[in-house]
Amino acid sequence: MVQGAQQQVDPIRVGTSLPRQDGPDKVTGRARYAGDQALPGLLHARLVLSPYAHARILNIDVSTALAMPGVVAVFSAETLGLAQADPLTRSQSPLAQQEVLWCGHPVAIVVGESEAIAQDGADAVEVEYEPLPVIIDPEAAIRPESALVRSDGGTAGAGGGGAHAAIPQGGGTGEQEELSPNASPTPPIKIGDVEAGLREADVVVERTYRTQPVHQSYMEPHSVTVAPSRSGHQLVIWPSTQGLLNVRSAVARALKMPERQIRVESVTIGGGFGGKETLIEPLVAAVASRLRRPVRLVYTRQDDLMAGNPAPQMITTVKLGAKKDGTLTAIQGRIIVDMGAYPNPLGGLSGFHLAAVYRCANIDIRGYQVQTNKPGTGAYRAPAGPQAYFAMESTVQDLCQQLGMDPLQFRLINGLKEGDPNVMQGRWPRIGLLECIEQVQQHPLWARREQAGQEGVPEGWKVGIGAAVGGWPGGTEPAAAACRMESDGTFTIVVGSVDISGSDASLALIAAEELDMAAETVNVAHDNTDSMPYSGLSAGSKTTYTVGSAVQAAARDARNQVLAIAADMLEAAVGDMELRDGRVQVKGVPEKHVTLQQIAARSMNFGAPYEPIYGRGRSANRVSSPMFAAHVAKVAVDPETGAVRVLDYLAAQDVGRAINPAEVEGQIHGGVVQGIGWALLEGMAYDEYGQLLTSTLMDYALPQSQDVPIITPLLVEVPSDLGPFGAKGVGEPPVVPVAAAIANAIKDAVGVRMTQIPMTPERVYAALQGQK
């Protein structure tokens, strides 16, 4: 480490002449991206990451790096000088300011002629640190005597659901609790008198559960390319993101630029699962703007694990009370959400999940957002859902066992239905929770569970079957879309959403249904932020629900325009027109018709008498359509080693209406597989010094093909009143009940209650030994 005072070194290597970068990279030998020829002089960036989880930055020496051939610039937080360097907002303060807050915190960014040169430059940057106390355990961080996670004393702010879900921002008041500056309470959820409900109960069960941070593990890591104009006053951005307008706004705030001077292009991305909202885009935009050169930053897999934004660790205590007849009398919960080094509005979701499945007159749920010296957290498919329902549904299973009641019957007695009061001071809309439970109750995997055989199971292994339910509140956001007829009679739908889940196929089917056209005649196009219709994040299972509604309205508008032109051309009434097989005809007189190509020719040519067909649609669904699922897992457990295999899996889900059944089933398959990862394999482990022990895919375990059983999806259709053709969101619920269903199946097999995920062989074996 370099000693002494901060050196005053110009961060930019002035006068460097860069060669054109056509063809393979001369240093790495790797092929260029297809768009490189359109970006002459493309530069590459690499990050200098902190090896300490908490330390004060004393000195950054960039002289050696700048002396290396091909290194163009090195920036620290001080020399980059973002306009709105809010230390509590990670995307606005992407480089550490005087203090690093987790192992992997970016300290500097190095720009070079190739990735290899930039990496060599990053390795040559020398940083002097003064280590500070490291707080990794959220239970320790919440105590009043805890050391500070950050010296500026910034704390986690209470949050709601962010851009992912519509959840309450309040609902009760509680006693003040002494907390450290690292922690803050979320709005409590309080209904009735929980202590009275516990006294009324014949059986009370209380358990505490722990999870670990989990990475989204998308195929494509975080990446972004930014190209400035020669003047530096305009930027074009190609990000791997779930929200184009979100990126534009974040970059505008960071660089203090008008949004109209920033254009974000839609690109195909390799997965997101909530982890790709806005992270590195403002940083790279600031560098490109300073250098007035195109710059690309692509995370390595290790970068993504160390400097991404994983799902948070949670510690959840659940206390339930019930009468002998199965009536639930009390739900009490205490949740600690480890937000890492930055506040996150998603923390408020955790408490809502505990009150979002069962009808109960007495509820008291307290939540706490806690900062630790870990990376700031983000969303991951049904944020806080897998953790909260692992706790809730495991406790429900133990409650049923003590009551001597069938676990699905208990859920049918207490499960929410339309008209029940909710914690948002309203009533539940039409929901399909009970229908999902009834579907799995009738399925042979559950109905014949007592006869579960040992076929294909190694000798000595124990077989068990478990069930769990879960849900997602859904989200709302306005959206707009356009529907344009082309000269060949086909239609193009223009949207601003990002297709990360196959949603484009559903949008095309919605438009085709509204137009009475074949699906292959509808194309979906994504425009950039200069001209695209409004769309929020593609997240929270709301794309089909919100953008789909706008697409339906746009297609209806276009259809009406087509019928009006055809009626005029055929000298008939609009009400007598019908659109079939690519032509508009008079009802009952099919020989009297015009083709869509003829209409296009009369509305899109020089001197044409009719206006072009251009439908516009908007939506603002003010009420969400909650989604629910019921799952059953069959597992085998080896008592000698603690190994667990999932043998069979059943997933019933209320999808409203399955616009694209194959896509819906694919979403359920994918969610269950990710849930298996949560349950048995995945977890980011840190040592006492805050060092990430699972920083590569050699250490961070993901489900492989042999870990995935036969998954049977059951599509339950309880239509939404607002979604297009009754559709609801699909993506979030499939992951929610999985860990709990597998934990309950393990309990059924070997009699131990697992209270921590992932349920690795070591943990299962330790639980079995503890039972003995």
507-537 tens-digit pLDDT = 999 999 999 999 999 999 999 999 999 999 9
Cα gap 426→157, rounded to integer Å: 26
Q: Residue 345 forms beta bridges with which residues? A: none
Q: What is the pLDDT of residue 227?
A: 97
Whether residue 175 lies in the annotated active site: no
- Model confidence pLDDT, tens digit, residues 667-708: 999 999 999 999 999 999 999 999 999 999 999 999 999 999
**Statement: residue 170 has pLDDT above 70:** no
Choose the weakest-confidence range: 23-32, 75-84, 543-552: 23-32
- Which amino acid belongs to residue 415? G
Cα gap 426→607, rounded to integer Å: 57
Q: What is the pLDDT of residue 278?
A: 94
pLDDT bucket at 1, cuts 50 / 70 / 90: very low
- Give the sign of the dihedral formed by CA 452, CA 453, CA 456, CA 457: positive
**Statement: residue 255 has pLDDT above 70:** yes
Cα gap 312→159, rounded to integer Å: 14
Is residue 283 within 8 A of residue 125, CB to CB? The reply is no
pLDDT bucket at 13, cuts 50 / 70 / 90: very low
Residue written as token pair 């986690």:
156
Bigger pLDDT: 596 vs 162: 596
- Sequence-ordered list of residues with C-beta below 8 angstroms from that of 401, at least 6 positions apart, any chain: none
Q: What is the pLDDT of residue 565?
A: 98
Task: Count how many Cα atoms sit within 13 Å of the Cα of residue 558 in the half-sphere of its side chain.
Answer: 36
**Statement: residue 424 has pLDDT above 90:** no
Cα gap 225→239, rounded to integer Å: 6
How far does the chain reach from its first CA to its final CA, in angstroms? 52
Q: Which of 393, 663, 682, 732 is catalytic?
A: 732
Instruction: Give the three-class secondary structure for 423.
Output: coil
pLDDT bucket at 166, cuts 50 / 70 / 90: low
Q: What is the pLDDT of residue 348?
A: 77
- Model confidence pLDDT, tens digit, residues 317-358: 999 999 999 999 999 999 999 999 999 877 778 899 999 999
Choose the weakest-confidence range: 30-34, 47-51, 544-548: 30-34
- Sequence-ordered list of residues with C-beta below 8 angstroms from that of 84, at least 6 positions apart, any chain: 92, 253, 254, 256
Cα gap 296→291, rounded to integer Å: 12
Distances from the Cα of 69 to the Cα of 16, 113, 347, angstroms:
10, 9, 46
DSSP string, 504-545: HHHHHHHHHHHHT--GGGEEEEE--TTTPPP---S-TT-III
Q: What is the pLDDT of residue 167?
A: 53
Q: What is the pLDDT of residue 585?
A: 96
Is residue 354 within 8 A of residue 385, CB to CB? The reply is no
Question: Residue 750 corresponds to which tokens in the numbers above?
Answer: 């070997």
Q: What is the pLDDT of residue 83?
A: 60
pLDDT bucket at 33, cuts 50 / 70 / 90: very low
Top-ranked range on mean pLDDT: pick from 174-183, 417-426, 471-480 = 471-480
Instruction: Give the three-class secondary structure for 552.
Output: helix
Question: Residue 744 corresponds to which tokens in the numbers above?
Answer: 């309950």
Is residue 561 within 8 A of residue 509, CB to CB? The reply is no
Cα gap 299→482, rounded to integer Å: 35
pLDDT bucket at 163, cuts 50 / 70 / 90: low
Q: Which of 395, 385, 332 is nearest to 675 (CA)?
A: 385
**Statement: residue 3 has pLDDT above 90:** no
Q: What is the 3-state secondary structure (H, E, C) of 636-649?
A: EECCCCCCEEEEEE
Residues 232-260, mean pLDDT to the nearest whole number: 95
- Model confidence pLDDT, tens digit, residues 616-662: 999 999 999 999 999 999 999 999 999 999 999 999 999 999 999 99
Q: What is the pLDDT of residue 175?
A: 60
pLDDT bucket at 14, cuts 50 / 70 / 90: very low
Q: What is the pLDDT of residue 537?
A: 94
Order across the sheet with 644-654: list the strands: 462-472, 627-637, 644-654, 710-716
**Statement: residue 501 has pLDDT above 90:** no
Residues 496-516, mean pLDDT to the nearest whole number: 95
Determine what percent of the chain falls in helix, strand and coil, rounding each to the nearest 5.
30, 25, 45
What is the chain's mean pLDDT, rounded?
91
H helical segments located in 316-429: 349-354, 385-403, 407-414
Residues 141-157, mean pLDDT to the nearest whole number: 84
- Give the sign of the dihedral formed by CA 749, CA 755, CA 759, CA 762: negative
pLDDT bucket at 164, cuts 50 / 70 / 90: low
Distances from the Cα of 707 to the Cα of 114, 459, 694, 749, 757, angstroms:
39, 19, 20, 18, 16
Q: Give the whole-number percent of the chain exceeding pLDDT 70.
A: 91
- Model confidence pLDDT, tens digit, residues 433-474: 999 999 999 999 999 998 877 788 999 999 999 999 999 999
Choose the weakest-confidence range: 20-24, 598-602, 743-747: 20-24
Question: Residue 265 corresponds to which tokens in the numbers above?
Answer: 């292009």
Q: What is the pLDDT of residue 154?
A: 65
Q: Write the DSSP symbol of residue 90.
A: T
Question: Residue 45 corresponds to which tokens in the numbers above?
Answer: 């960036």
Choose the weakest-confidence range: 149-163, 282-296, 417-431, 502-516: 149-163
Cis bond upstream, residue 703 (ω within 30): no
Cα gap 380→732, rounded to integer Å: 9
Q: Residue 223 forms beta bridges with which residues? A: 298
